[in-house]
Amino acid sequence: MFTSALRSDKAKSSEVASGLRQDFASMKEGASATAGHFSADLPASVRVDARLKLGVERFGAETRLAQRHESGAFRFRFPRAHGRPPEAVTVNIAGGLAGGDRVSAELRVGEGASLAFTSAAAERIYRSAGDTTRLSSRLALEADARALWLPQETILHNGARVERRFEIDIAADARLLFGEMLYFGRRASGEGYDAGMMRESWRVRHAGRLALADETRMDGLALAQGANKAALGHHVAMATLLFAHPDAGEALEPVRAVLDAEETLESGATDLGPLVLVRLLSPDAARLRGLVLELAALLAARIGMPMPRALLN
């Protein structure tokens, strides 16, 4: 179990900032609901600029913490492992993200070490008045390392502007399951996602060579005509799964068998040699989440790691 001590003055400052952000976010959502827009993003004094760094190493038969850094509104928490590989769980003490907020996370899994990464709750990206929320994630796996990256879903409120960048570096014999889920709007509240901007950038290197370079951008007309098949086509949720294993191709048919049993979603699984890439679009966010967890459990078993407990509660 990993623990940390936080100075009380920093904790109090975080609580004050969190309260200001939540009040402002509530005011913004209320104004948006009545006026359809809001005139300003959060003031710079309460914007999130969070930076996380975590490194683990193998010592004997155990994986132990080698580096830990937290700044801004995010914290790592480490539930008791009880013989399992350690789980790193992120907590956003600000309660959500708004235009102009920035979050970067860097994780390194040393040679022969194992780590599961997830989040305590879904991440919300609030409506923006123009500024973009920027999220940057970097993951490096050294020789014979194993890792799961499976955070809770990210929910885009209508009008949210978000840019997400993923950089993944995988050693030749390392094993990885990397998953991300994205929800467009809050459908249970009657809110879609027909305004704003979403951009994703993926760069994946395997054994030092570029294996995947992918760019996605949706804004303006693409969102306003969301029913168009060239856009979301009535779908409200999207997920990406990336599986790295020396024998990754052997997982392709079992994954496709699960996907083929689902009639309402659009999906594809691609063999990239040492990687398998899975993409899913669904008109039902809850069903997409259930399917992602089903696929994740199937693939996690192939690298000998249990699912993060935060995802199963």
Does residue 104 have a pLDDT over 60?
yes
Whole-number percent of the chain with pLDDT over 70: 82
pLDDT in tens, 106-140: 999 999 999 999 999 999 999 998 899 999 999 99
For the segment 231-246, the average pLDDT, to the nearest whole number, is 90
Specify the pLDDT at position 37.
46
Confidence bin at 235 (pLDDT 50/70/90): confident
How is residue 106 written in tokens?
């860097």
For the segment 174-192, the average pLDDT, to the nearest whole number, is 91
Confidence bin at 8 (pLDDT 50/70/90): very low
Specify the pLDDT at position 33.
42
Give the three-class secondary structure for 206: strand
Specify the pLDDT at position 12.
42
For the segment 58-82, the average pLDDT, to the nearest whole number, is 91
Question: Is there a contact between 300 and 307 (Cβ–Cβ < 8 Å)?
Answer: yes
Which residues are registered as beta bridge partners of 218?
198
Confidence bin at 158 (pLDDT 50/70/90): very high
**Half-sphere exposure in the Cβ direction for 66 (13 Å, CA):** 15
Tell me how far apart the alpha carbons of residues 70 and 76 are, in angstroms, rounded to a whole number: 7
Q: Which residues of 172-185 are buried (b: 16+ CB within 10 A; e: fewer)?
A: eebbbbbbbbbbbb
Q: Which residues of 99-110 are buried (b: 16+ CB within 10 A; e: fewer)?
A: bbbbbbbbbbbb
Does residue 38 have a pLDDT over 60?
no
Does residue 206 have a pLDDT over 60?
yes
Express the helix, strand and coil content of the chain in percent, nearest 5 each. Answer: 25, 40, 35
Which residues are registered as beta bridge partners of 239?
181, 280
Specify the pLDDT at position 211.
96
Confidence bin at 302 (pLDDT 50/70/90): very high
| pLDDT, greater one: 63 or 5 | 63
CB under 8 Å to 62, separation ≥6 — which residues? none
Does residue 224 have a pLDDT over 90?
no
pTM of the model: 0.84
Specify the pLDDT at position 229.
65
For the segment 249-274, the average pLDDT, to the nearest whole number, is 93
Does residue 74 have a pLDDT over 90?
yes
Confidence bin at 40 (pLDDT 50/70/90): low
Specify the pLDDT at position 28.
43
Specify the pLDDT at position 263.
84
Whole-number percent of the chain with pLDDT over 90: 66
Specify the pLDDT at position 16.
41
**H or E stretch including 302?**
helix 285-302
CA 203 to chain centre: 15
Tell me how far apart the alpha carbons of residues 84 and 82 are, in angstroms, rounded to a whole number: 6
Confidence bin at 46 (pLDDT 50/70/90): confident
Specify the pLDDT at position 201.
97
